[in-house]
Amino acid sequence: MPRNVLISGGCGFVGSHLVDRLLRRDDLQKLVVVDNLWTGSRDNIAHVADPRLSLRIADAESFAADERFDEILHLASPASPVWYMREPARTIRANIGGALNLLSLLRPGGRFCFASTSEVYGDPMVSPQPESYRGAVDCTGPRSSYDESKRCTEALLFEEQRVSGLDVRVVRLFNTYGPRTRIDDGRAVSNFVSQALTTGVLTVYGDGSQSRSWGYVDDIVDGLERFFWRDGIEHKGPLNLGNNREISVVDIAKFVCSLVPGSRIEHYPPVPQDPTNRCPDLTLAKRLLPGWEATTGYEEGILRTFEWFRRQIAGGGKSAATS
């Protein structure tokens, strides 16, 4: 059956890769990207020449349309602390307001997919974190606009599922990196790579011993494609997706330094409430998505990201996102 699909945040880093995947679908009749270009860029989808795609520059929380959609994928929200901590009210509006508004554009019986985050686990007391872990989030802390708006949006969707049978798919993404991240994004990999290529000084907050699991975008989008539309999975979520190879921030910085002779690391005071560790328990993902695994090691993924950033910087940041 032909499907009309809406994706919010489709000009962003993960969203634009998902747009490429959606356009491979034979059953896709129409794809509407709703994005206000806050942290995203038109360049991320500028390579697409497919008449099924249209871009609406609008806020997800107020976007209006006459039509109803068979599937809605809600990704509109900054994911970088630098960006969401600067505009907390806007972050809350994007996530919760966006979900409330977009739900009204879903046709009865349609599917609503949401990109939640490992940040719902806060600074976790257990590692790795299974989906059943309820988390340790500080609702008065500097990251709360993001963490709590993701938690509240999850609550909204699961409650709508309970009371009205809404068909939801909720994924919790762990740190994802790769081409099409902004040069001024502010997250570790993009920061290190762009700093290595420009100033040669990589800023590490704290001693860098805080660990993360680093998921290369192609692997993560493989999982999203299978969970959101391809595999006919009945599980509603939440579902962890990420790479469970835990590497410290300083080891990532050292690896990036090794790519640019003469670059060096400088340590700065720790960021407030930066989680000490983050690692997905992928038991459920492996059961629901047999054969799926985040196979790209950080060394290979960072090399690909490095090459993309190098071309972006050489081209003044304007080259098409053809990776």
Ligand X SMILES: NC(=O)c1ccc[n+]([C@@H]2O[C@H](COP(=O)([O-])OP(=O)(O)OC[C@H]3O[C@@H](n4cnc5c(N)ncnc54)[C@H](O)[C@@H]3O)[C@@H](O)[C@H]2O)c1
H helix runs in 172-297, sequence order? 188-197, 217-225, 249-259, 283-288
Q: Which of 146, 177, 216, 298 is labelled catalytic?
A: 146
Number of neighbouring beta carbons within 10 Å of residue 296 = 19
The verdict on 173 binding ligand X (CB under 6 A) reads: yes
d(CA 242, CA 213): 7
d(CA 308, CA 193): 10
Site for ligand X in 67-96 (CB under 6 A): 75-79, 94
Selected binder of ligand X within 7, 12, 32, 219 (CB under 6 A): 12
Q: Is 268 a catalytic residue?
A: no
> Quick check: 256 and 249 in contact, CB under 8 A?
no
The verdict on 98 binding ligand X (CB under 6 A) reads: yes
The verdict on 175 binding ligand X (CB under 6 A) reads: yes
The pairing of strands 246-248 and 211-213 is antiparallel
Q: Which is nearer to ligand X, 155 or 201 (CB)?
A: 155
> Quick check: 278 and 211 in contact, CB under 8 A?
yes
Q: What is the DSSP letter of 280?
A: B
Tell me how many residues contact ligand X (CB under 6 A).
29
Smallest gap from residue 78 Cβ to ligand X (A): 4
Q: Which is nearer to ligand X, 57 or 314 (CB)?
A: 57
Q: Which is nearer to ligand X, 53 or 173 (CB)?
A: 173
Smallest gap from residue 167 Cβ to ligand X (A): 19
Smallest gap from residue 156 Cβ to ligand X (A): 14
Bridge partners of residue 33, in order along the sequence:
7, 55
d(CA 297, CA 245): 8
The verdict on 39 binding ligand X (CB under 6 A) reads: yes
The verdict on 237 binding ligand X (CB under 6 A) reads: no
Q: Which residues bind ligand X (CB under 6 A)?
A: 8-9, 11-15, 34-40, 59-61, 75-79, 94, 98, 115, 117, 173, 175-176
